[in-house]
Structure 1
Amino acid sequence: MITTIKVGSGILDGGGDINYSVLRGVARVISELREEKFIVVSSGALLMGLLKIGLNFVPKNIKKRQAICAIGQPELIRKWNEVFSEYNLLASQVLITHEDIGLPKRAKNIEDTIFQIFDIGAVPIINENDTVSTEEIRFGDNDFLSAYVSVLVGAKRLIIITDIDGVLDNEGNLIKEVSPDNINNVLGKIGKTQIKKRVSSGGIVSKLTASKIASEFGVECFIINGRKIGCLRKIFDGENPGTKVLPMKKYTRRETWMLNVMKGKGRIFIDKGAYDAVKNGKSLLPAGIKDVSGNFSVGDIVEVYFEDEILGKGITNYSSQEITLIKGKRTDQIEKILPYKRADEVIHRDNFVEIE
């Protein structure tokens, strides 16, 4: 049974040093539950880099931030190793980018490596590879990284540690339980409890959205206060010490990857007839395509639009250049235009996931 624990920069910031009590709280639970397998998704490279060079603000320049992260990441993993050794635990470092986890072959390599780390008896400490990730290929926040990793390895639960008790409503009351179908309603009711932190990129909206992604693959999610002693352990004793997002297996892993992880390389714009056909479970044919944008190849993920609304994502059988030539044409005309026919469909119904 696998549990992912996500620890963000905000709660790791102890002022002049890392917050050792949070690290020890995580290590203590892992050491007590040796029969479980744990993954720790830990932010903090930027924080540790700032502390190391004595800078009290975050530079706006992304290259400068990447350099600071390069300084801070070794410090971050050293802190985890230092604390883990107190509990006779072995830490390992795994650095990944959105591009790594978005490509099936690379994602499989990451999955295999994590399970080999488990076999050795170590705990994977995962962070985004900030030194090579640009704004265009970032996860956006480690909340999402923790969700994607949980789906990738088939984790049973995801625990997001923050510095508030969970999801609070407008009156400051704790919302104990949320279903994935109700998350959008909850997002409209939550209070503005986030305090601006120097290194924190997420917030409660990010945590809830990430939990929704994981829960739709059947992962049980918790958002808890990591500053409260014993809060983490209570989950393994069957209690809910914060906000629980109920699991609801809605998508297969492949569908989850297509919708949430793999970025669309381009867009296909369809007419009303194609829209009705796709909504009724039919494949997308070239006749229903009005336009195409972006530069993509066969096998890439593309977004399908009707008017100004995104309908879903799919794997294309034709490149953007080929679709430009065959859009609006009947399937029996494809071979005369290209001159070959790879498939009747631009996107087969089995390779399309509708965004609800």
Structure 2
Amino acid sequence: MAHKRIVVKIGSSLLTDQTRLTPRWGFMQRIMEDFALLRDQGYDILLCSSGSVALGMKMMGVTPENAGLRDKQASAACGMPLLLNAYKQIGHEYDLNIAQILVTLGDFEIHSRFLNTKNTLVRLLEAGVVPIINENDTITTEEIRVGDNDRLAAKVAQMVLAEHLIILTSVDGLYDQDPSNPDAKLVEEVQDVSQYLSVTEGVSTLGSGGMLTKLQAANMAQNSGCHTIIANGEADSPISSALFGDRPRTICPAHSEPLATWHAWLSERLHIAGSIVINSDAADAVDAGERGVHREDVIRIEGSYHKGDVIHIYDEAGKERARGMSDFTSEETEILVRNLDIPVKQLLGYHSRAVLVEHTNLTTLDERHLPWERPEPAKQARFEPFPNESR
């Protein structure tokens, strides 16, 4: 029987007693029991689990309200053995073996590391081992971290070609307004998550994301051909009951025509490495799939990026039109753009085509993608706009 893959994301507020900062053993028992049930039905399970920072805070003598970055990094180091030990003890009752995978932003954004991580996860699943995945909070800083396990879980789902992403939270799903409002109604199915972004404010005390990051994750999963279910974790058989529709939930169905794996990796980003602004004619040509981005197209370079980074491509009106892998660093790009009449070899010392982003390494955006707002030039721009007369 062919195995189907499910990625499950569980937040800190479900795993951790918010007052005592200890594991919620009863909840974890229900989770692992459900894993065993689904395993016996032919499913592979991957778990994206928060909780290490919260569980380590007591050892560090800090609380969620007063912990700084160094406190949280140290708390993660203390809490991870506690979290894994809890999963291992309970999993042993159901003959479930577990493995720990700690990832950073680069494991998703750098393609070679993305493939290496994927290969490890697939091999664990082949051996019947449940991977427990979390961001490596001990070494990451605000500038280089994913930031929330919702989108991290969506990237894992994309990575392993999962059929379902199940996000367990403290409410029954997405509501059309603040769920504390008596008139709030559960939205049972969401085809276009952008219609509900205005009702997604709020972050739990222990968590790093709210409903916004869950919808962002759902959008990423939809584009990769993965169904997303958002449901309350406080239920018997919390995963299977949500999966099989035995209780209230919100489902975000996968798009009928998912992106190819390469284009999904290019477009579903967790972090803006940098961006460029190109003229309108070039943007239209890129949008039509006619060509890549040439150096004469560029009006502005924003941010600093390396060769091989995926950059965001905006038109003059500030609309994001595409994302693609840059063949040059931001510094090299500036040199090429400011000296249009000089060959690449003379400028950079090596021969290359003067194409900043090749057509094959570029993906255009459509209505199903959530766009990134263009960074404020005053805060983000590394270089000034290039003079019109140089065109």
Q: Is TM more than 0.5 here? A: yes
* CA distance, structure 2, for counterparts of residue 106 and residue 340 of structure 1: 27
Look up the equivalent residue of 2:34 and give its one-letter code.
Answer: V
* CA distance, structure 1, for counterparts of residue 111 and residue 68 of structure 2: 32
Determine if the alignment matches structure 1 residue 176 to structure 2 residue 185.
no
Structure 2 unpaired stretches of 5+: 178-182, 367-391
Match of residue 358 from structure 2: 348
Match of residue 22 from structure 1: 27
* CA distance, structure 1, for counterparts of residue 200 and residue 149 of structure 2: 22
Determine if the alignment matches structure 1 residue 301 to structure 2 residue 310.
yes
Match of residue 138 from structure 2: 131
Structure 1 unpaired stretches of 5+: none
* CA deviation after TM superposition for structure 1 residue 71, in Å: 0.6
Equivalent residue in structure 2 for 1:251, among 259, 263, 270: 259
Determine if the alignment matches structure 1 residue 152 to structure 2 residue 155.
no
User: In structure 2, do the counterparts of structure 1 residues 84 and 191 end up closer, same or farther at CA, with 3 Å as the change threshold?
Assistant: same
User: In structure 2, do the counterparts of structure 1 residues 33 and 250 end up closer, same or farther at CA, with 3 Å as the change threshold?
Assistant: closer
Match of residue 322 from structure 1: 332
Superposition pairs for residues 49-128 of structure 1, below 5 Å? Answer: 49-53=56-60, 55-128=62-135
Match of residue 37 from structure 2: 32
Equivalent residue in structure 2 for 1:47, among 38, 51, 54: 54
* CA distance, structure 2, for counterparts of residue 219 and residue 109 of structure 1: 21
* CA distance, structure 2, for counterparts of residue 79 and residue 106 of structure 1: 29
Equivalent residue in structure 2 for 1:268, among 257, 273, 276: 276
User: In structure 2, do the counterparts of structure 1 residues 328 and 229 end up closer, same or farther at CA, with 3 Å as the change threshold?
Assistant: same
* CA deviation after TM superposition for structure 1 residue 79, in Å: 1.1
* CA deviation after TM superposition for structure 1 residue 54, in Å: 5.0
* CA distance, structure 1, for counterparts of residue 330 and residue 137 of structure 2: 31
* CA deviation after TM superposition for structure 1 residue 275, in Å: 2.2
Look up the equivalent residue of 1:322 and give its one-letter code.
Answer: E
1:290–1:328 Cα contact (<8 Å) kept? no
2:56–2:80 Cα contact (<8 Å) kept? yes
* 3-state SS, counterpart of residue 208 of structure 2: coil
User: In structure 2, do the counterparts of structure 1 residues 145 and 262 end up closer, same or farther at CA, with 3 Å as the change threshold?
Assistant: closer
* CA distance, structure 2, for counterparts of residue 264 and residue 173 of structure 1: 35
* CA deviation after TM superposition for structure 1 residue 216, in Å: 1.0
1:291–1:327 Cα contact (<8 Å) kept? no
Look up the equivalent residue of 2:188 and give its one-letter code.
Answer: K
* CA distance, structure 2, for counterparts of residue 110 and residue 279 of structure 1: 32
* CA distance, structure 1, for counterparts of residue 102 and residue 204 of structure 2: 24
- Which string of whole-angstrom CA distances, capped at 9 and with x for unpartnered residues, describes residues 68-101 of structure 1? 1111111111111122122221121111111122
Match of residue 283 from structure 1: 292
Match of residue 219 from structure 2: 212
Determine if the alignment matches structure 1 residue 11 to structure 2 residue 22.
no
* CA deviation after TM superposition for structure 1 residue 347, in Å: 1.6
* CA distance, structure 1, for counterparts of residue 224 and residue 69 of structure 2: 33
Determine if the alignment matches structure 1 residue 221 to structure 2 residue 228.
yes
* CA distance, structure 1, for counterparts of residue 343 and residue 168 of structure 2: 57
Match of residue 383 from structure 2: none
* CA deviation after TM superposition for structure 1 residue 240, in Å: 6.0
Match of residue 378 from structure 2: none
* CA distance, structure 1, for counterparts of residue 300 and residue 244 of structure 2: 55
2:279–2:297 Cα contact (<8 Å) kept? yes
Greater shift in the superposed pair: 237-246 or 169-178: 237-246
Look up the equivalent residue of 1:259 and give its one-letter code.
Answer: S
1:317–1:343 Cα contact (<8 Å) kept? no
* CA deviation after TM superposition for structure 1 residue 311, in Å: 2.7
Equivalent residue in structure 2 for 1:2, among 1, 5, 19: 5
User: In structure 2, do the counterparts of structure 1 residues 77 and 209 end up closer, same or farther at CA, with 3 Å as the change threshold?
Assistant: same
Match of residue 380 from structure 2: none
2:266–2:310 Cα contact (<8 Å) kept? yes
* CA distance, structure 2, for counterparts of residue 226 and residue 92 of structure 1: 22
1:46–1:69 Cα contact (<8 Å) kept? yes
* 3-state SS, counterpart of residue 100 of structure 2: strand
Between the aligned residues of both structures, percent identity stands at: 27
* CA distance, structure 2, for counterparts of residue 85 and residue 301 of structure 1: 42
Greater shift in the superposed pair: 60-69 or 129-138: 60-69
Aligned Cα root-mean-square deviation (Å): 2.4
Match of residue 377 from structure 2: none
* 3-state SS, counterpart of residue 48 of structure 2: strand
Look up the equivalent residue of 2:167 and give its one-letter code.
Answer: I
